[in-house]
Amino acid sequence: MSDPVALQMTAPAPVTALENARHDGPVTVAETGPWGMLTLRGDLSAAPVRSSLADATGLAMPEVRGVTVAGDRRVAWFSPDEALILVPRADLAGVRAALDGALAGQHALVADMSDARASFRISGEPAHLAEVLARLVPVDMGTFAVGELRRTRLAQVACAHWMPEEGAVELVCFRSVARYVFDLLVEAAESPRAFPA
Amino acid sequence: MSTRLTTGGTLIDRSKPVTFTFNGESLKGYQGDTLASALLANDRMMMGRSFKYHRPRGVVSSGTEEPNALFGIGQDGRFEPNQRATMQELWTGLEAATQNHWPSLEFDIGEVNAHLSRFLPAGFYYKTFMWPRSFWKNVFEPVIRQSAGLGRAPKSADDDRYEHLYHFTDVLVIGGGLAGLVAAQEAAQGGARVLVLEQEAHWGGRATDSDAQAQVDALLATLKGMENVTLRSRCMGAGVYDHGYVLGYERLTDHLAQKSGPRHRLWRIRAAQVICATGAIERPLSFAGNDVPGVMLASALRDYLTRYGVSVGDRTVVVTNNDDAYLTALALVRAGLSVPAIVDARDGGAGVLGAQAEAAGIRVLKGHAIAKVKGRKRVSGVAICRQAGEGAVVEEIACEAVAMSGGWSPVVHLWSHCGGKLTWDDAQAMFRPDPARPPLGAAGEGFVTCAGAAFGVLDAASGAGQAAEAGRAAAQAIGKPGSGAGSGAALPEGLADGSGANPIEPVWLMPGSASRKLRAKAFLDYQNDVKVTDIQLAAQEGFESVEHAKRYTTLGMATDQGKLSNINGLAILSGALDTPIPQVGTTTFRPPYTPISMGSIAGEARGDTFQPLRRSPIHAWHEANGADFEPVGHWRRPYTYLRAGETRDTAVTREINQTRGSLGLLDASTLGKIIVNGPDAGRFMDMMYTNMMSTLKPGKCRYGLMCSENGFLMDDGVVAKWDEDTYLCHTTTGGADRIHAHMEEWLQTEWWDWNVWVVNATEAHAQIAVVGPNARKVLEKLGAQNIGNEDFPFMTFQDHRLAGIDARIYRISFSGELSYEVAVPAGQGMALWTALMEAGAEFNVMPYGTEALHVMRAEKGFIMIGDETDGTVIPQDLGLHWAISKKKDDFIGKRAQQRSDMARDDRWKLVGLETLDRSVLPEGSYAVADGVNANGQRNVQGRVTSTYNSPTLKRGIAMGLVLHGPDRMGEIIRFNTVEGATVSAKIVDPVFYDKEGTRNV
């Protein structure tokens, strides 16, 4: 047997699907992360679930098709019984432990899905940003507001997106299709304005 | 001669000449010209040949309805056939080529068909070419193909790109003529979001006919100033669908010499209310020779004159059954051209416009008709007859052009796409929308209205009034009315109100009792060469339904979809059947309104983004190391890793030998990984799987089968019990999403009260199979401890830290070898793979692909979903009784497996097969039996499900389903081959390799 010391024995840093690829332009597309992402399955209308979530994350449970954003944490409504919690990777273990603790004895599942998804931040002048998304997602981006969320599709794959603030859209998709989503977002971002100012 | 006049032309810019080529010849036009107007300005009257008889044809219209003037535009990657010259704007360098002629436009061999037209009536192909059969394939079809057809298919890949745009609006107005703009202004008053689409480059539609361009300009200025209004020209409303879904087709670069950005944009619109202000299309008249180049719609001839300053001929005879065509005569005279006569089929002639014409010195022949047009490649004159009678010629008039008008048909296509019904308006001789029967939305309310000429209101003043009404109604329907009914916006003033006009008189054939000889040259459908006599023949032969007559004659089935021909055709049919027109009805209007490009439909789905390609976390390494990929669902998995000089076969053999001999790695990340959790998880798992899963102890694994409700095997995989309430279900790569949906469906619809949650965690983890006699050693090198056979037995899992990465290791095997499947977070999959490759170097570790995986599992007699199963196979067929619990009351598929067909003892069963000559059986080969069945086919008694060359056993091995197979061990049966011979094979146990399981320790 060869010398085990020659092998790397400390944990390598997690790597995002596209190693934080970005495309700069009037509308910038950047892969973000690595985030810590927790999927919560539970009855989101149940008060104990809502309060557990709030206690563990410091964020209120959003309304239907909504997202709560505070700093670098988000809680996203995904369905009547599913929420996605995004926190910095460094906070993941703590939030997870807090959530597991708070939910103990309740019928709920918390799964670490940090590596299952790729995440993107698309930013630019709000009207331009809206039309870039409108090329790919069947959503009325003209009225899409900060705090709203859609689980929808981007061209041929599932995605979810929301606006954390004016001029920015955050979008998650499954990790395996990260390249497809990035390529499409870049093409849409580079296309001439459909609604010139 | 058609020519450019020295003055006139509202749309052209004479200071900007444009050169283009026509069949390679350089010609000149002006900016603002269409290809059609520029060709006419250059005296190119003949623009193509017809489909069947190859008759010379010229442009007949000035808009989207054009059936004749179709061209191949562009070259190579930008070549597109069948483009309408009337819609193609001119740009410097445009290359246009005529089509449907051979060898040349002027001299065409197919024209002989025209002389044989007596013998080529409707249905000719059906009747003649049926016999003998081989003649069709070898004689008729090649000859017809050579001479027929429209444009040629492009040979190069499309150089352009295309895009979609999702757009949401309160009110969508389709059509930017006077009515559309008035409706838009009204609808927008209360703040509703309004989108207006206009298919042409210019706004206003036919407003110039009523001197309303100034009003149009004023409306446009108002609308452009409103923030809630979006105006889009060169954008056609292509189709209206359920739930207010509308497709808009925007042509972005077709009119530009310097092209950049997407060529077309497909608007995918959701509109709460749709207003169709799509105008009306003028109808031709059916007289002999109405297809000779130079015969044109009166409105088109007027357009070429007023918009483009083009004269189609010095002398134009106008022929009509309504007042509108008089506008053309008056415009021609005003431009200094000659109108030898207006031939008006009505005995009473026209009203106010008639008086104006006579005052201008134009001779009006009332109650007259054109007996026939003289000339072949261009008009040289017309023979005049009475409208009543058979067509005895009373006089001949020399002319270069004929302007015809048979009345107007509202463009009801978009109204009709989603179910809007029509009503026959006898007074105006037209089908118009029936407002009582609109297309219905989700709540049962109409969501489409029509405005202006599209509603059948032909005069400008009434049309504008009605359009304003439509705009108000749309705004009210969505709760955003303007400042008050009728006071929203000022209607344009000074619009012509059509007073003093004489009514149209329907004329479906000219002259009314035309002789057969004349009828046989009176064309209804120019593009498909359907004549009056063809429709009459169809009726005579019993094709009485309009849909049948259409298909028998091909009326309206060409690329123009009968925009000019349909109403005239069904009126002729109505006459032949002695049935009123409304009872004959119309054919169905289907989207798109005119053809749209395939590229626009594909949008972004082309090239690298044609389909979403799923990549595992280790995909980049595979790409860089010779992976020969195969698609598995949307994933790409390495089939094998090719090294220099290797074939697929030799590479697979090398991978198998190295894995069985030392160490192999498989990227198994694509396998489905579904987490099932909750107090009722065990109960749920027992229903999902045929096995007993609830008794599994935490830390242990069990292979399981899933069946559909009908009992058929649908997926398999290893289940690991993570803890008392939590299971991880491995599924096949292709089954992950399907099985996840299957579980959710049962939980949401049947067992909604069970406390179970399911999460599809497939993509959260990278999973690497470490396989072979040295598998344990390499894991130990990376830091795993106490993983000997006793400490870490088969079918269990443990958590270890490998190369610093937290890993869950499953000791499971799909190859028969010592094997560990290591799961780590996806983001660390690449790091683990690299560490395994480095640590495995001393064992000459090799990655292996899906084919090596398949061969090794077949050597061990393991079934593969999709090979041994095809949706008709139950686990019992595969000898998997041991995996079907007999203790459980129920599982999905249990009841179905008790059906007589499932329980019968002569179902084909799984066995191994060894060819006597060691060869590899063909895929899909059948085991032949004696005799033939009722169809004279050879009887069969089994089939091959998997067949491979086994490098381990150095022979062909196969699995198959065989009648009473397991009872026939050692028997020799024969399998067919593609060549017709048979191969003998012995029935054996399906486990070919290491039956005792000595290797996995």
Query: Looking at residues A45-73, what average pLDDT do you find?
Result: 95
pLDDT-derived band at B558 (thresholds 50, 70, 90) equals: confident
Q: Which of A1, A88, A113 is nearest to B674 (CA)?
A: A113
Q: Return the H-helix or E-strand segment holding B281.
A: strand B280-282
Q: Would the pLDDT of A152 be above 50? A: yes
Chain B residue numbers with beta carbons less than 8 Å from the beta carbon of A1 are: 777, 780-781
Query: Looking at residues A181-197, what average pLDDT do you find?
Result: 96
| CA distance readout (Å), B706 to B684, B730, B731, B760 | 12, 11, 10, 17
Domain containing residue B74: CATH number: 3.10.20.440
Convert B575-596 to b/e letters by CB count within 10 Å (16 or more is b): bbbeeebeebbbbebebbbbeb
**Which one of B260, B270, B764 has the shortest CB-CB distance to A116?**
B764
- Which region holds residue B407: left if phi is over 0, alpha if psi is between -120 and 50, else beta? left
**Which one of A15, A109, A187 has the shortest CB-CB distance to B827?**
A15
State the Cα–Cα distance between residues B965 and B972, nearest whole angstrom. 11
* Residues B166, B264 share a domain: yes
Lowest mean pLDDT among B45-54, B715-724, B793-802, B847-856: B45-54
Chain A residue numbers with beta carbons less than 8 Å from the beta carbon of B764 are: 111-116
In a domain, A24, yes or no: yes
| CA distance readout (Å), B341 to B180, B379, B561 | 35, 15, 33
* Residues B981, B960 share a domain: yes
Q: Are the Cβ atoms of B166 and A139 closer than 8 angstroms?
A: yes
* Residues A60, A25 share a domain: no
pLDDT-derived band at B669 (thresholds 50, 70, 90) equals: very high
Domain containing residue B652: CATH number: 3.30.1360.120
> CA-nearest residue of chain B to A8?
B803
For CA atoms B729, B733, B739, B740, the dihedral sign is positive
Query: Looking at residues B8-30, what average pLDDT do you find?
Result: 97
Residue partners of A187: CB distance under 8 A and separation at least 6 = B161, B604, B609
> CA-nearest residue of chain B to A190?
B261
Beta strands in B321-377 (DSSP E): 342-344, 364-366, 368-374
Q: Are the Cβ atoms of B168 and A142 closer than 8 angstroms?
A: yes
* Residues B913, B801 share a domain: no
Q: What pLDDT score does B49 carry? A: 85
Query: Looking at residues B494-508, what average pLDDT do you find?
Result: 92
Question: Do residues B376 and B293 lie in contact, with contact meaning Cβ atoms separated by under 8 Å?
Answer: no
Q: What pLDDT score does B933 carry? A: 95
State the Cα–Cα distance between residues A90 and B48, nearest whole angstrom. 72
Query: Looking at residues A8-30, what average pLDDT do you find?
Result: 90
pLDDT-derived band at B52 (thresholds 50, 70, 90) equals: confident
Question: Do residues B803 and A8 lie in contact, with contact meaning Cβ atoms separated by under 8 Å?
Answer: yes
Domain containing residue B548: CATH number: 1.10.10.1100
| Token pair in block for residue B312 | 């189609």
* Residues A154, A61 share a domain: no
Residue partners of B772: CB distance under 8 A and separation at least 6 = B658, B659, B660, B661, B662, B663, B664, B817, B818, B819, B843
* Residues B382, B327 share a domain: yes
**Which one of A11, A139, A176 has the shortest CB-CB distance to B805?**
A11
Q: Are the Cβ atoms of B166 and A137 closer than 8 angstroms?
A: yes
State the Cα–Cα distance between residues B48 and B51, nearest whole angstrom. 9
Chain A residue numbers with beta carbons less than 8 Å from the beta carbon of B838 are: 7
* Residues A177, A140 share a domain: yes
* Cα B887-B889-B891 angle, rounded to 5 deg: 100
Q: Would the pLDDT of B104 be above 90? A: no
**Which one of A138, A179, A184 has the shortest CB-CB distance to B604?**
A184
* Residues A82, A123 share a domain: no
Which of B406, B431, B450 is a domain's end point?
Answer: B406
**Which one of A113, A136, A194 has the shortest CB-CB distance to B761?**
A113
Residue B189, amino acid:
Q
* Residues A54, A150 share a domain: no
Four-CA torsion B700, B703, B707, B711, nearest 10 degrees: -120
On the 0-12 / 13-18 / 19+ scale of CB atoms within 10 A, B522 is buried
B202 to chain A, minimum CA–CA distance in Å? Answer: 19
In a domain, B592, yes or no: no
In a domain, B612, yes or no: no
Which of A72, A92, A114 is a domain's end point?
Answer: A114
Per-residue pLDDT reduced to its tens digit, B198-208 = 999 999 999 98
* Residues B72, B207 share a domain: no
* Residues B955, B936 share a domain: yes
pLDDT-derived band at B626 (thresholds 50, 70, 90) equals: very high
Query: Looking at residues B739-767, what average pLDDT do you find?
Result: 98
Per-residue pLDDT reduced to its tens digit, B795-848 = 999 999 999 999 999 999 999 999 999 999 999 999 999 999 999 999 999 999
Q: Would the pLDDT of B343 be above 90? A: yes
* Residues B219, B141 share a domain: no
| Token pair in block for residue A98 | 């807090």
pLDDT-derived band at B586 (thresholds 50, 70, 90) equals: confident
**Which one of A7, A42, A175 has the shortest CB-CB distance to B763?**
A175
Return the biggest CA–CA distance within chain B.
114
* Residues B148, B66 share a domain: yes
> CA-nearest residue of chain A to B826?
A115
Convert B158-170 to b/e letters by CB count within 10 Å (16 or more is b): bebbbbbbbbbbb
Domain containing residue B934: CATH number: 2.40.30.110
Q: What pLDDT score does B145 carry? A: 55
Q: Are the Cβ atoms of B609 and A175 closer than 8 angstroms?
A: no
B286 to chain A, minimum CA–CA distance in Å? Answer: 45
In a domain, A30, yes or no: yes
Chain B residue numbers with beta carbons less than 8 Å from the beta carbon of A111 are: 675, 759, 761, 764
Mean pLDDT of chain B: 94
Which of B763, B796, B830 is a domain's end point?
Answer: B763
DSSP H helices in B491-597: 516-519, 532-540, 546-553, 566-577, 581-584
Q: Are the Cβ atoms of B164 and A135 closer than 8 angstroms?
A: yes
State the Cα–Cα distance between residues B178 and B198, nearest whole angstrom. 11
Q: Are the Cβ atoms of B783 and A15 closer than 8 angstroms?
A: no
Q: Are the Cβ atoms of B604 and A155 closer than 8 angstroms?
A: yes
Q: Count of CB atoms within 10 A of residue B487's CB?
A: 10
3-state DSSP helix/strand/coil % of chain B, to nearest 5:
25, 30, 45
Please give the residue range of the domain that contains residue A76: 35-114
In a domain, A13, yes or no: no
Residue partners of A98: CB distance under 8 A and separation at least 6 = A55, A56, A57
In a domain, B517, yes or no: no
State the Cα–Cα distance between residues A160 and A174, nearest whole angstrom. 10
Per-residue pLDDT reduced to its tens digit, B928-939 = 999 999 999 999
In a domain, B769, yes or no: yes
Q: What pLDDT score does B140 carry? A: 60
**Which one of B165, B193, B838 has the shortest CB-CB distance to A194?**
B165
Number of domains in chain B: 7
pLDDT-derived band at B734 (thresholds 50, 70, 90) equals: very high
Q: Which of B595, B598, B592, B596 is nearest to B240 (CA)?
A: B592
Please give the residue range of the domain that contains residue B238: 162-281+410-477
Q: What pLDDT score does B42 carry? A: 98
State the Cα–Cα distance between residues B503 and B455, nearest whole angstrom. 17
* Residues B897, B750 share a domain: no
Which of A91, A114, A137 is a domain's end point?
Answer: A114
Q: Return the H-helix or E-strand segment holding B56.
A: strand B56-57
Domain containing residue A48: CATH number: 3.30.70.1520
Residue partners of B881: CB distance under 8 A and separation at least 6 = B875
Q: What pLDDT score does B487 carry? A: 46
Query: Looking at residues B662-679, what average pLDDT do you find?
Result: 98
Mean pLDDT of chain A: 94
Q: What does pTM read for this prediction?
A: 0.94
Per-residue pLDDT reduced to its tens digit, B849-899 = 999 999 999 999 999 999 999 999 999 999 999 999 999 999 999 999 999
> CA-nearest residue of chain A to B835?
A7
* Residues B680, B534 share a domain: no
Query: Looking at residues B472-478, what average pLDDT do you find?
Result: 95
Which of A60, A90, A114 is a domain's end point?
Answer: A114
Mutation site for B-interface testing, chosen from A16, A150, A175 by largest number of B Cβ within 10 Å: A175
Q: Would the pLDDT of B135 be above 70? A: no
> CA-nearest residue of chain A to B762?
A116
In a domain, B596, yes or no: no
Share of chain B above pLDDT 70, in %: 95
| Token pair in block for residue B97 | 């080529």
| Token pair in block for residue B113 | 């068909």
pLDDT-derived band at B151 (thresholds 50, 70, 90) equals: confident
Per-residue pLDDT reduced to its tens digit, B175-198 = 999 999 999 999 999 999 999 999
Number of domains in chain A: 2
Q: What pLDDT score does B482 carry? A: 78
What are the phi and psi torsion angles at A180 (to 5°)?
-60, -45
Mutation site for A-interface testing, chosen from B163, B233, B757 by largest number of A Cβ within 10 Å: B757
Could you give the ipTM of this predicted complex?
0.95
Residue partners of B63: CB distance under 8 A and separation at least 6 = B86, B87, B200, B281, B300
Q: Are the Cβ atoms of A176 and B605 closer than 8 angstroms?
A: no
* Cα B79-B84-B86 angle, rounded to 5 deg: 130
**Which one of A2, A114, A137 has the shortest CB-CB distance to B825?**
A114
Q: Would the pLDDT of A47 be above 60? A: yes
> DSSP string spanning B66-77?
-SS-EEEES-GG
DSSP H helices in B595-680: 598-602, 619-624, 648-661
Chain A residue numbers with beta carbons less than 8 Å from the beta carbon of B839 are: 2, 7
Q: Would the pLDDT of B115 be above 80? A: no
Domain containing residue B742: CATH number: 3.30.70.1400
3-state DSSP helix/strand/coil % of chain A, to nearest 5:
25, 35, 40
Per-residue pLDDT reduced to its tens digit, B904-936 = 999 999 999 999 999 999 999 999 999 999 999
Which of B348, B382, B406 is a domain's end point?
Answer: B406
* Residues B936, B787 share a domain: no
